[in-house]
């Protein structure tokens, strides 16, 4: 039970910080409210709780194939994940991927998600460093990438102006 309590506290904390980040960067109020609701589904909940928390509620990381399936479900249920917008062509021999443009509202939610995760896990809002470190692994349409960079810059300026005030 402690594992589930610890995971619930994390998910609620993450959702709260995503909500605040969403308001900070101008993301949709509705998207902020419904963010990551699929994590409460049993098909995601149990795998996440078992992967990130021990039975005593302590933090751990124990990746399993069960988690891989839950993570894939989460990505496909939530259009704020960039993986949702990758189309693998039907010809398996070519292995071609099409990188689709992410609509504005989901791009902003994605950035707010990164910010909220950073705040919940690392204790800080700013995620530009994280993005630059992982950018080569994140497949984005050029228009989406430009919006991500702009949103991160806007968030950085806004956060610094908030701190100085």
pLDDT in tens, 96-128: 899 999 999 999 999 999 999 989 888 877 788
66 burial type by CB count under 10 A (0-12 exposed, 13-18 middle, 19+ buried): middle
Across 65-85, average pLDDT:
97
Task: Give the CA-trace dihedral at 112, 116, 117, 120, to 10 degrees.
Answer: 180
Q: How far apart are CA 12 and CA 4, in angstroms?
A: 12
Nearest to 103 by CA among 89, 84, 116: 84
pLDDT tens across 35-55, in order? Answer: 999 999 999 999 999 999 999
Both tokens assigned to 135? 């950018």
pLDDT tens across 87-98, in order? Answer: 988 877 777 899
Across 119-140, average pLDDT:
88
**pTM of the complete model:** 0.88
């Amino acid at each position: 039970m402690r594992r589930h309590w610890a995971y619930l506290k994390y998910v609620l904390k993450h959702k709260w910080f995503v909500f605040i980040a969403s308001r900070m960067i101008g993301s949709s109020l509705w998207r902020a409210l419904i963010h990551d609701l699929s994590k409460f589904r049993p098909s995601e909940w149990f795998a996440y709780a078992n992967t990130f928390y021990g039975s005593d509620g302590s933090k751990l990381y124990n990746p399993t194939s069960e988690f891989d399936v839950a993570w894939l479900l989460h990505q496909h249920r939530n259009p704020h994940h960039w993986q949702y917008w990758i189309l693998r062509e039907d010809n398996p021999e070519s292995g071609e991927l099409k990188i689709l443009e992410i609509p504005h509202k989901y791009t902003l939610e994605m950035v707010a998600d990164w910010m909220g995760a950073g705040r919940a896990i690392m204790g800080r809002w700013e995620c530009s460093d994280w993005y630059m470190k992982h950018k080569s692994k994140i497949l984005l349409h050029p228009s989406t990438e430009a919006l991500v960079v702009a949103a991160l810059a806007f968030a950085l300026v806004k956060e610094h102006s908030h701190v100085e005030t």
